Amino acid sequence: MYYDRMFLANPRKSSKKPAPRRKATEEVEEEFFVDASVLEEVLAPAPRRRTKPAKPAAKPAPRRRKKAAEPEVVAAPAPSRRRKKVAATAPAPAPARRRSRATAEPAPVAAPAPARRRSRATAEPEPAPAPAPSRRRSGASAGFPTGGVMLAKKHERGDVRGWWMSEKFDGMRAYWTGSEFFTRNGNKIYAPKWFTDALPDMALDGELMLGRGKFQETMSIVRKHTPVDKDWRRITYYVFDAPMERGGCEARWDAAKRAVRGISHVKMVEQVACKSPAHLKQVHDEIAALGGEGVMLREPGSSYEHRRSGSLLKVKMFDDNEARITGYEAGKGKHAGRLGAYEAVLTTGPHKGKSFTVGTGMSDEERERPLRIGTIITVKHQGYSNSGHPRFPSFLRVRGRE
């Protein structure tokens, strides 16, 4: 159909040269599928272009005019020529332009320079003082080691001659970061401002304590989020290490002594060199007679480790284990009407799960306000019976409060 229409549109021209026209139309029709009317329009101008397309197309007037537009754009140098002429006739404007440029150039350059300098000068001193206190505060909060405080292992080795001996205190373990107190578990201790203001800006490790045998009373004071000055004036901070100082334990002790000298509510723990096992037993018995808990041993020249270390040993002539309160026994005699004893079950040690009762070691106040069932307590005793029960158990403290 398309081929018939195409040849019918121009029968004469198709008869003269059919071959090339067919090829052209076939290519157009096969590629775009155009209609016959469109093909007529496409083929119509062909003879006109072939007759004399050169003359009408050869008219370059518009093209020359378009090209002439280029010199018009390039004609910008015309003013330069004029400027030259003007400069020749009237040299006055040339320096005027130079002056305007000279004045225009320094004016913008001079203006931003002081503005930037002022902005930098004002911006630099503002952040400069800010980081100083922020570092101290961050250092205080981040000063508590992620690995925790150094903990002792039980003394099981034989000869410890040359090791340092000190009293094992029965108080609240307190790590001073330089601005805040933390417990051994990383809980914050809210001490009064006057108490902390006197302390040095260095890390210290020690214990807050009222005195021997007053663990529960100490806990009731230092655990309060709102400290009571009257109670805190009875508290003493016993320092036994300076974790962040360089050198062995002896060098750290010397640094701590210099830092806390003259502070009334801070004392350094006294260290004595162990001469023999008999000397160790003698010191332990003296501390026990005063109501102390035991002896701590420190290896000479040892470093501060944020874990349970074999270079720090605890020596106690009695055993202690943890137990869970399961019930109560009513008091008799002078304890009538209040707690007589706790019924408990061992949760640690070789005889875990054994039931027993503990009726000593509690103060009158603690008997008036017994602990809840399920509370974990620490009980000290002198070994075990043949049946696995603790011998002579005595209440020592509540666990999990530090």
Q: Report pLDDT for 44.
A: 54
Residue 139 burial by Cβ neighbours in a 10 Å radius (0-12, 13-18, 19+): middle
Q: Which CATH architecture has domain 151-315?
A: 2-Layer Sandwich (3.30)
| Tokens matching residue 302 | 């040892």
C-beta separation of 240 from 166 below 8 A: yes
Does pLDDT of 28 surpass 50?
no
Residue ranges of the chain assigned to CATH 2.40.50.140? 319-398
Order the strands of the 164-168 sheet from edge to edge.
151-154, 308-315, 294-298, 164-168, 272-273
pLDDT tens for residues 113-137? Answer: 444 544 444 444 454 444 333 333 3
Q: Which fold has domain 319-398?
A: OB fold (Dihydrolipoamide Acetyltransferase, E2P) (2.40.50)
Pairing of strands 294-298, 308-315: antiparallel
C-beta separation of 148 from 187 below 8 A: no
- Residue environment code for 346-380, b if the CB has 16+ CB neighbours within 10 A, otherwise e: beebeeeebebbbbebbeeebbeebbeeebbbbbb
pTM for the full model?
A: 0.55
Query: If you search the block for the tokens 């340092």, which residue do you land on?
Result: 164
Residue ranges of the chain assigned to CATH 3.30.470.30? 151-315
Q: Report pLDDT for 386.
A: 83
Order the strands of the 376-381 sheet from edge to edge.
355-358, 339-346, 319-330, 376-381, 394-398
| Residue bearing the bigger pLDDT, 332 or 127 | 332
Query: If you search the block for the tokens 């225009």, which residue do you land on?
Result: 104
Q: Quick one: pLDDT band at residue 21, thresholds 50, 70, 90? A: low
Q: Report pLDDT for 49.
A: 55
| DSSP bridge partners of 266 | 237
| DSSP bridge partners of 188 | 182
HEC sequence for 173-209: EEEECCCCEECCCCCEECCCHHHHHCCCCCCEEEEEE
C-beta separation of 391 from 382 below 8 A: yes
